[in-house]
Protein backbone atom coordinates (compact mmCIF):
# COMPACT_ATOMS: atom_id res chain seq x y z
CA UNK A 1 0.00 0.00 0.00
CA UNK A 2 1.40 3.35 -1.08
CA UNK A 3 1.08 6.15 1.39
CA UNK A 4 -0.64 9.24 -0.10
CA UNK A 5 1.52 12.25 -0.59
CA UNK A 6 0.37 15.60 0.69
CA UNK A 7 0.53 18.63 -1.60
CA UNK A 8 -0.31 22.22 -1.00
CA UNK A 9 -3.19 23.54 -3.12
CA UNK A 10 -3.18 27.10 -4.44
CA UNK A 11 -6.40 28.68 -5.70
CA UNK A 12 -6.56 31.85 -7.76
CA UNK A 13 -9.52 34.07 -6.88
CA UNK A 14 -10.75 37.29 -8.38
CA UNK A 15 -12.17 39.86 -5.99
CA UNK A 16 -14.27 42.86 -6.90
CA UNK A 17 -13.55 46.02 -4.96
CA UNK A 18 -16.75 47.82 -4.09
CA UNK A 19 -16.86 51.35 -5.37
CA UNK A 20 -18.57 54.17 -3.57
CA UNK A 21 -20.71 54.90 -6.60
CA UNK A 22 -21.98 51.32 -6.74
CA UNK A 23 -23.50 51.21 -3.29
CA UNK A 24 -27.04 50.04 -3.46
CA UNK A 25 -29.58 52.45 -2.09
CA UNK A 26 -32.47 51.18 0.00
CA UNK A 27 -35.65 50.60 -1.95
CA UNK A 28 -38.11 53.50 -1.71
CA UNK A 29 -41.43 53.08 0.05
CA UNK A 30 -44.14 51.41 -2.01
CA UNK A 31 -46.44 54.36 -1.39
CA UNK A 32 -44.45 57.63 -1.48
CA UNK A 33 -45.15 60.16 1.24
CA UNK A 34 -45.78 62.88 -1.34
CA UNK A 35 -47.03 62.89 -4.93
CA UNK A 36 -46.79 65.71 -7.48
CA UNK A 37 -49.40 65.41 -10.22
CA UNK A 38 -49.27 67.81 -13.16
CA UNK A 39 -50.58 68.27 -16.67
CA UNK A 40 -49.78 70.73 -19.46
CA UNK A 41 -51.67 72.32 -22.33
CA UNK A 42 -49.97 73.37 -25.54
CA UNK A 43 -50.44 75.28 -28.76
CA UNK A 44 -52.35 73.40 -31.45
CA UNK A 45 -49.67 73.74 -34.12
CA UNK A 46 -46.89 71.28 -34.90
CA UNK A 47 -44.55 72.81 -32.30
CA UNK A 48 -46.98 72.10 -29.41
CA UNK A 49 -45.31 74.67 -27.18
CA UNK A 50 -46.37 75.01 -23.57
CA UNK A 51 -49.15 77.52 -22.92
CA UNK A 52 -50.23 76.68 -19.38
CA UNK A 53 -50.67 73.77 -17.01
CA UNK A 54 -51.95 72.75 -13.60
CA UNK A 55 -50.45 70.84 -10.70
CA UNK A 56 -51.53 69.33 -7.41
CA UNK A 57 -49.29 68.28 -4.54
CA UNK A 58 -50.71 65.45 -2.42
CA UNK A 59 -49.68 64.21 1.02
CA UNK A 60 -50.18 60.62 2.19
CA UNK A 61 -52.30 60.27 5.32
CA UNK A 62 -54.29 57.55 7.13
CA UNK A 63 -57.17 57.95 4.68
CA UNK A 64 -55.00 58.04 1.57
CA UNK A 65 -53.66 60.95 -0.42
CA UNK A 66 -55.00 64.41 0.38
CA UNK A 67 -54.39 67.65 -1.48
CA UNK A 68 -51.71 69.77 0.22
CA UNK A 69 -51.38 72.45 -2.44
CA UNK A 70 -52.36 73.18 -6.03
CA UNK A 71 -51.95 75.83 -8.66
CA UNK A 72 -51.41 76.80 -12.27
CA UNK A 73 -48.28 77.37 -14.33
CA UNK A 74 -47.78 79.23 -17.57
CA UNK A 75 -45.17 79.57 -20.28
CA UNK A 76 -42.38 82.06 -19.58
CA UNK A 77 -43.20 83.84 -22.85
CA UNK A 78 -47.00 83.63 -22.68
CA UNK A 79 -48.55 86.66 -24.35
CA UNK A 80 -50.28 89.34 -22.30
CA UNK A 81 -53.79 88.50 -23.51
CA UNK A 82 -53.58 84.86 -22.41
CA UNK A 83 -51.88 85.82 -19.15
CA UNK A 84 -54.82 88.09 -18.30
CA UNK A 85 -57.23 85.19 -18.83
CA UNK A 86 -55.31 83.08 -16.31
CA UNK A 87 -55.16 85.98 -13.85
CA UNK A 88 -58.93 86.39 -14.02
CA UNK A 89 -59.39 82.68 -13.42
CA UNK A 90 -57.33 82.51 -10.24
CA UNK A 91 -58.92 85.68 -8.85
CA UNK A 92 -62.42 84.28 -9.36
CA UNK A 93 -63.77 83.38 -5.90
CA UNK A 94 -65.35 80.24 -7.36
CA UNK A 95 -61.90 78.78 -8.14
CA UNK A 96 -60.44 78.49 -4.66
CA UNK A 97 -58.00 75.59 -4.14
CA UNK A 98 -59.28 72.34 -2.68
CA UNK A 99 -56.60 72.01 0.01
CA UNK A 100 -57.40 69.14 2.38
CA UNK A 101 -54.26 69.33 4.52
CA UNK A 102 -54.64 71.86 7.34
CA UNK A 103 -52.53 74.99 7.03
CA UNK A 104 -52.58 78.44 8.55
CA UNK A 105 -53.49 80.81 7.17
CA UNK A 106 -55.72 78.78 4.84
CA UNK A 107 -54.98 79.22 1.14
CA UNK A 108 -57.79 81.10 -0.59
CA UNK A 109 -56.27 81.38 -4.04
CA UNK A 110 -54.55 79.05 -6.48
CA UNK A 111 -50.80 79.45 -6.84
CA UNK A 112 -49.75 80.97 -10.16
CA UNK A 113 -46.18 80.30 -11.29
CA UNK A 114 -44.25 80.77 -14.49
CA UNK A 115 -42.71 77.67 -16.02
CA UNK A 116 -39.26 78.50 -14.68
CA UNK A 117 -40.63 79.27 -11.19
CA UNK A 118 -42.61 76.02 -11.14
CA UNK A 119 -39.53 74.01 -12.11
CA UNK A 120 -37.40 75.61 -9.38
CA UNK A 121 -39.89 76.02 -6.53
CA UNK A 122 -42.00 72.91 -7.01
CA UNK A 123 -40.57 70.33 -9.43
CA UNK A 124 -36.93 70.18 -8.25
CA UNK A 125 -37.85 70.88 -4.64
CA UNK A 126 -40.19 67.87 -4.52
CA UNK A 127 -37.79 65.56 -6.35
CA UNK A 128 -35.17 66.34 -3.71
CA UNK A 129 -37.67 65.15 -1.08
CA UNK A 130 -38.31 61.86 -2.87
CA UNK A 131 -41.74 62.91 -4.13
CA UNK A 132 -43.20 60.81 -6.95
CA UNK A 133 -43.99 62.79 -10.11
CA UNK A 134 -47.19 61.56 -11.77
CA UNK A 135 -48.87 62.35 -15.07
CA UNK A 136 -50.75 60.87 -18.00
CA UNK A 137 -48.33 60.56 -20.93
CA UNK A 138 -45.70 61.95 -18.56
CA UNK A 139 -42.79 62.00 -21.06
CA UNK A 140 -44.69 64.51 -23.17
CA UNK A 141 -45.60 66.76 -20.23
CA UNK A 142 -42.03 66.82 -18.90
CA UNK A 143 -40.74 67.64 -22.37
CA UNK A 144 -43.07 70.68 -22.42
CA UNK A 145 -41.21 72.00 -19.37
CA UNK A 146 -37.84 71.57 -21.08
CA UNK A 147 -35.95 74.48 -22.61
CA UNK A 148 -33.43 72.32 -24.45
CA UNK A 149 -33.15 68.70 -25.56
CA UNK A 150 -30.32 66.56 -26.92
CA UNK A 151 -29.56 62.88 -27.35
CA UNK A 152 -28.60 61.09 -24.13
CA UNK A 153 -25.32 59.17 -23.93
CA UNK A 154 -27.07 55.80 -23.58
CA UNK A 155 -29.95 56.54 -25.90
CA UNK A 156 -33.15 58.47 -25.50
CA UNK A 157 -33.44 62.18 -24.85
CA UNK A 158 -31.75 64.33 -22.24
CA UNK A 159 -33.91 67.31 -21.24
CA UNK A 160 -32.67 70.57 -19.74
CA UNK A 161 -35.30 72.19 -17.52
CA UNK A 162 -33.26 74.96 -15.85
CA UNK A 163 -31.12 77.80 -17.19
CA UNK A 164 -28.79 80.31 -15.58
CA UNK A 165 -26.83 83.33 -16.76
CA UNK A 166 -23.24 82.49 -17.68
CA UNK A 167 -20.63 84.33 -15.63
CA UNK A 168 -18.29 84.42 -18.63
CA UNK A 169 -20.58 85.41 -21.49
CA UNK A 170 -23.66 86.78 -19.75
CA UNK A 171 -25.80 84.52 -21.95
CA UNK A 172 -28.31 81.99 -20.66
CA UNK A 173 -26.92 78.45 -20.43
CA UNK A 174 -28.03 75.08 -18.97
CA UNK A 175 -27.75 75.20 -15.19
CA UNK A 176 -25.14 72.57 -14.19
CA UNK A 177 -26.45 72.63 -10.61
CA UNK A 178 -29.67 70.96 -11.77
CA UNK A 179 -29.98 67.40 -13.11
CA UNK A 180 -31.25 66.57 -16.53
CA UNK A 181 -34.29 64.39 -17.05
CA UNK A 182 -33.56 61.46 -19.36
CA UNK A 183 -36.44 59.79 -21.20
CA UNK A 184 -35.80 56.55 -23.03
CA UNK A 185 -38.86 55.35 -24.93
CA UNK A 186 -39.05 51.61 -25.57
CA UNK A 187 -42.15 51.89 -27.75
CA UNK A 188 -45.27 54.04 -28.07
CA UNK A 189 -46.54 52.95 -24.64
CA UNK A 190 -43.48 52.41 -22.44
CA UNK A 191 -40.72 54.84 -21.48
CA UNK A 192 -38.09 54.89 -18.74
CA UNK A 193 -37.61 58.23 -16.97
CA UNK A 194 -34.73 59.15 -14.68
CA UNK A 195 -32.20 61.79 -13.68
CA UNK A 196 -28.68 62.24 -15.01
CA UNK A 197 -25.77 64.71 -14.88
CA UNK A 198 -26.10 65.16 -11.11
CA UNK A 199 -23.22 67.40 -10.10
CA UNK A 200 -23.51 67.23 -6.29
CA UNK A 201 -24.91 63.85 -5.31
CA UNK A 202 -25.34 64.85 -1.66
CA UNK A 203 -27.82 67.54 -2.74
CA UNK A 204 -29.95 64.95 -4.54
CA UNK A 205 -30.20 62.05 -2.05
CA UNK A 206 -33.30 60.58 -3.68
CA UNK A 207 -33.55 59.03 -7.10
CA UNK A 208 -36.22 60.58 -9.28
CA UNK A 209 -39.51 58.66 -9.09
CA UNK A 210 -41.80 59.03 -12.08
CA UNK A 211 -45.11 57.30 -12.77
CA UNK A 212 -46.77 57.54 -16.17
CA UNK A 213 -50.45 56.61 -15.78
CA UNK A 214 -50.72 55.84 -19.48
CA UNK A 215 -48.05 53.16 -19.13
CA UNK A 216 -49.64 51.90 -15.91
CA UNK A 217 -53.03 51.54 -17.60
CA UNK A 218 -51.45 49.57 -20.43
CA UNK A 219 -49.64 47.29 -17.98
CA UNK A 220 -52.80 46.57 -15.98
CA UNK A 221 -55.34 46.25 -18.83
CA UNK A 222 -53.25 45.49 -21.91
CA UNK A 223 -55.18 48.26 -23.65
CA UNK A 224 -54.35 51.78 -24.73
CA UNK A 225 -56.52 54.49 -23.16
CA UNK A 226 -56.68 58.24 -23.45
CA UNK A 227 -57.18 60.19 -20.25
CA UNK A 228 -60.96 60.50 -20.60
CA UNK A 229 -61.48 56.78 -21.28
CA UNK A 230 -59.12 55.81 -18.46
CA UNK A 231 -61.00 58.02 -15.98
CA UNK A 232 -64.43 56.78 -17.09
CA UNK A 233 -63.23 53.18 -16.90
CA UNK A 234 -62.03 53.70 -13.32
CA UNK A 235 -65.33 55.29 -12.29
CA UNK A 236 -67.40 52.47 -13.77
CA UNK A 237 -65.31 49.88 -11.92
CA UNK A 238 -65.84 51.66 -8.60
CA UNK A 239 -69.62 51.57 -9.14
- List, for residues 74-111, the tens digit of each pLDDT value: 999 999 999 999 999 999 989 988 888 877 777 788 99
pLDDT digits (tens, 9 = 90+) for 182-196: 999 887 778 899 999
What is the model's pLDDT at position 58? 96
Q: pLDDT at residue 19 above 80?
A: no
Confidence class for position 28, pLDDT limits 50, 70, 90: confident
What is the model's pLDDT at position 188? 76
**Structural domain boundaries enclosing 57:** 32-238
pTM: 0.81
Q: Could you give the number of structural domains in the chain?
A: 1
**Cα dist from 135 to 12, 54, 97, whole Å:** 53, 11, 19
In a domain, 14, yes or no: no
What is the model's pLDDT at position 21? 54
In a domain, 110, yes or no: yes
In a domain, 128, yes or no: yes
In a domain, 92, yes or no: yes
What is the model's pLDDT at position 43? 94
In a domain, 23, yes or no: no
Q: Specify the higher pLDDT residue, 155 or 124.
A: 124
Quote the CA–CA distance of 202 and 220 in Å, as a whole number. Answer: 36
Q: What is the mean pLDDT of the chain?
A: 86
Confidence class for position 234, pLDDT limits 50, 70, 90: low
pLDDT digits (tens, 9 = 90+) for 131-170: 999 999 999 999 999 999 998 887 889 999 999 999 888 8
In a domain, 201, yes or no: yes
In a domain, 17, yes or no: no
Q: Specify the higher pLDDT residue, 144 or 207.
A: 144
Helix H or strand E encompassing 212 = strand 209-212
In a domain, 94, yes or no: yes
What is the model's pLDDT at position 14? 64
Quote the CA–CA distance of 83 and 108 in Å, as a whole number. Answer: 20
User: What SS3 class is residue 224?
Assistant: coil
Nearest CA-CA partner of 36 in 20, 53, 19, 22: 53
Confidence class for position 24, pLDDT limits 50, 70, 90: low
Is the C-alpha dihedral spanning 135, 159, 162, 78 positive or negative? negative
What is the model's pLDDT at position 230? 60
Amino acid sequence: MIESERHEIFVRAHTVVARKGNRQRPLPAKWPNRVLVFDTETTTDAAQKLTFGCYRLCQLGPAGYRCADEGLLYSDDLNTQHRKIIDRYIHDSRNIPVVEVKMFPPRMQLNLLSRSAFVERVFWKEIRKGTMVVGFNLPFDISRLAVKACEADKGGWSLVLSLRKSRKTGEMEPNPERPRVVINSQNSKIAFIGLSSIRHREEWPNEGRFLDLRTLGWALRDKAFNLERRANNSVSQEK
